[in-house]
Amino acid sequence: MQSVLPGGEGTVRRPILAVGLLVLAGLRAGAGTAQPAQEMFVTPLSLDEMRDKQAVVETTAGTFVIDLLPEAAPNHVGLFLQSVNEGTYDGTAFHAMVARGIIQGGDPFSADPARRGEYGRGGLGLVASEPNDERHTPGTVSAVGVPGNPASEGLQFLICVVAQPGLDGHHTVWGRVSEGLPVVTRISETPVDAQGKAAERVEIVSVSIRDWRPPPPPPFTTETADELAAYRAVLETRAGPITLEMFPDRAPGHVRNFLRLAQAGVYDGMAFHRIARGFVIQTGFVPSRSTPLTEEQRSLIATLEPEFSDTPHVKGIVSMARGDDAASADTSFFIVTARAGALDGVYTVFGRVVDGIDAVDRIEATPVDGETPLQRIDLTRVRLEQAGQP
Q: Say if residues 350 and 250 touch (Cβ distance below 8 Å).
A: yes
Which tens digit of pLDDT belongs to each residue from 168-194? 999 999 999 999 998 999 999 999 999
Q: Return the half-sphere exposure (C-beta side, CA atoms, 13 A cut-off) of residue 376.
A: 9
Per-domain residue ranges of the chain:
3-211, 225-386
Reply yes or no on whether the pLDDT at 103 is more than 80. Answer: yes
Q: Does 97 or 216 have the greater pLDDT score?
A: 97
What local confidence, expressed as pLDDT, does residue 390 receive?
Answer: 54
Residues 6+ apart with CB under 8 A from 96: 5, 11, 103, 104, 119, 120, 192, 196, 197, 198
The answer to whether residue 32 scores a pLDDT higher than 50 is: no
Model confidence at 14: pLDDT above 60: no
Q: Are 281 and 275 in contact (CB under 8 A)?
A: yes
User: Rounded mean pLDDT of 327-338?
Assistant: 97
Average pLDDT over residues 131-154: 95
Which residue, among 154, 27, 159, has the nearest Cα to 88 in the 3D structure? 154
pLDDT band at 37 (very low <50, low <70, confident <90, very high): low
- Residues contacting residue 10 through CB under 8 Å, at least 6 positions apart: 29, 30, 32, 34, 120, 121, 124, 144, 145, 146, 152, 154, 156
Cα separation, 201 vs 190, in Å, equals: 8
Q: Does domain 225-386 have CATH number 2.40.100.10?
A: yes
pLDDT in tens, 243-285: 999 999 999 999 999 999 999 999 999 999 999 999 999 999 9
Query: What is the rounded average pLDDT for all residues in the chain?
Result: 90
Judged against a pLDDT cut of 70, whether residue 350 lies above it is answered with yes
CA dist 238 and 203 (Å) reads 42
The set of residues, in sequence order, having a beta carbon less than 8 Å from that of 288 and lying 6+ positions away, is: 270, 271, 273
* CATH top-level class of 3-211: mainly beta
pLDDT in tens, 157-173: 999 999 999 999 999 99
Determine the number of helices (DSSP H) and then strands (DSSP E) in the chain: 7, 23
* Three-state DSSP state, 87: coil
